Amino acid sequence: MQVGLIGLGIMGAPMARNLVKAGFPLTVSTRTPGKAARFAAEAASLGEVCAVDSAAQVAAASEVIITMLPDSPDVAGVARAADGVFAGAKPGAIVIDMSTISPQVTRELSAEATSRGVYWLDAPVSGGEKGAIEGTLTIMVGGDGAALDRCRPVLEAMGKRITYLGPSGNGQSAKLCNQIMTAVNLLAVCEALTFGAKAGLDLATLHQALTGGAANSWALEVLGRKMIDRDFAPAFMVRLQQKDLRLVFEAAREGHVPLPASALSHQLLAAVEAEGRGHDGTQSLVRIFERLAGLEK
């Protein structure tokens, strides 16, 4: 099965490597000049990979076309551009958008794809850079179930839990549920570690204790450890978490759903952005809590 991938960022590049390792002939492109060619040269030892200049060329060469891009306008632009996916995709091709974007925009793109004889699956992921590197992503899929069955081996090269959630847009809605929980869990970890530090506890020992009990979570295990180690490098940037929360609030406003805890996370992450740390990992939020508690590090 010929596969294409558009977008070679923090998530897209390791996902592409796993596709090549799994034996799929891969065609790649990216908006950054030269980036796709550099990736192809680096991944050539793993398998068959070709860099091209446009999304249309990726689509023309592929039965399955994956997009992994930052936001709704990016995905819509890559799909609809004169040299975009729709311009090059052959009838029967499957587009798998693995970005996190608006459920409504997803439904619009899916309808447009259908009118062109192309399938559109929304398949956003959870698991961060670590999951992308290890091929253990959780993948939430909306769209045509038969199309999913056809391309499931492609998804299995990148993830371990692939869940079909129903019609187009449902994968994105499920991902937004995930982002609500990650944002609120992040708050809890920041509060607990700040409280522990103020109480004079050794945070490494505290982390060992908490990860063994009912309070444990991925946020505590992974992000809590990074907070303690003062590692604020981005596996998932603050600015992207803020983008995802914007999508959450847009959808929540349409459905009249109150999300007070998510709103608090959003406002406190805005304080991180105000300090010029929008490209930090989300664990950088702990600095705001430390500052509020009089703990400067």
* % the chain with pLDDT above 90: 97
Residue 198 bears catalytic tag: no
In CATH, 3-167 is 3.30.460.80: no
Opening angle at CA 10, ends 8 and 12, nearest 5: 40
Where does the pLDDT of residue 296 fall: very low under 50, low under 70, confident under 90, or very high at 90 and above? confident
For residue range 132-181, what is the model confidence (pLDDT) as tens digits?
Answer: 999 999 999 999 999 999 999 999 999 999 999 999 999 999 999 999 99
Instruction: Name the least confident of 32-36, 87-91, 225-229.
Output: 32-36
Question: pLDDT at position 2, please?
Answer: 98
Average confidence score pLDDT of the chain: 97
Q: Which of 30-34, 91-95, 206-210 has the lowest mean pLDDT?
A: 30-34
**What torsion, rounded to 10 degrees, do the Cα atoms 297, 246, 85, 169 define?**
120
Q: What pLDDT score was predicted for residue 111? A: 98
pLDDT category, 81, cuts 50, 70, 90?
A: very high
Please pick, among 21, 90, 160, 175, the residue that the annotation labels catalytic. 175
pTM value surpassing 0.85: yes
* DSSP structural state of residue 126: E
**Tokens representing 134?**
């290890």
Cα separations in angstroms, 90 against 24, 64, 213, 267, 279: 19, 10, 52, 44, 37
Q: Using 50, 70 and 90 to split pLDDT, how confident is the model at 5?
A: very high
CA 194 to chain CA centroid, nearest Å:
28
pLDDT score of 297 more than 80: no
pLDDT in tens, 108-129: 999 999 999 999 999 999 998 9
Domain 173-292: CATH class, spelled out = mainly alpha
Q: Which two tokens stand for residue 189?
A: 């970890």
Q: Taking Cα atoms as reference points, which of 251, 283, 246, 280 lies closest to residue 266? A: 246
Domain range annotation of the chain: 3-167, 173-292
User: Residue 61: pLDDT above 70?
Assistant: yes
Q: What is the mean pLDDT of residues 260-281?
A: 98
pLDDT at 235: 87
Q: Are strands 137-141 and 125-126 parallel, antiparallel or unpaired?
A: antiparallel
* % pLDDT > 70, the chain: 100
Which is nearest to 224 in space by CA: 239, 245, 197, 203?
203
